[in-house]
Amino acid sequence: MSDARWKKHERRTAEAFDGARLPRTGRTGRDVSTEGGRYSWLCIECKDRARLPDYLHKGMAQAVADAGPDELPVVVLHQRGMRAESDYVCLRRADFVEWFGD
């Protein structure tokens, strides 16, 4: 069985969110099932890239540096010409688990 990097990413993510990786065998849909767990309210799609954009790393570093002790650092990504309701809100997995885990 091939253990591609993207499969490992899906497994790590499933473990972190108390879920199970859903194999691709001819199906579409989410990558991780969280049914019955504490994150059952999430629909998780995983993406693995060799490199994320520098602006994303810089934005997160700035949010982390500026966040106070009781603030959650997030980066909001907006594409010109799109409605603000379609913006992406990005946060680090560790911060997500700390704030929403239990």
pLDDT value for 72: 98
pLDDT digits (tens, 9 = 90+) for 53-82: 999 999 999 999 999 999 999 999 999 999
Write the pLDDT tens digit of every residue in 31-54.
999 999 899 999 999 999 999 999
Asked if residue 1 has pLDDT above 70, the reply is no
What pTM was estimated for this model as a whole?
0.83
Distance CA 10, CA 6 (A): 6
Instruction: Render pLDDT for 12-27 as a digit per residue (tens, 0 to 9).
Output: 999 999 999 998 777 7
Question: How many Å is the Cα radius of gyration of the chain?
Answer: 16
**Is the separation of the CB atoms in 15 and 44 below 8 Å?**
no
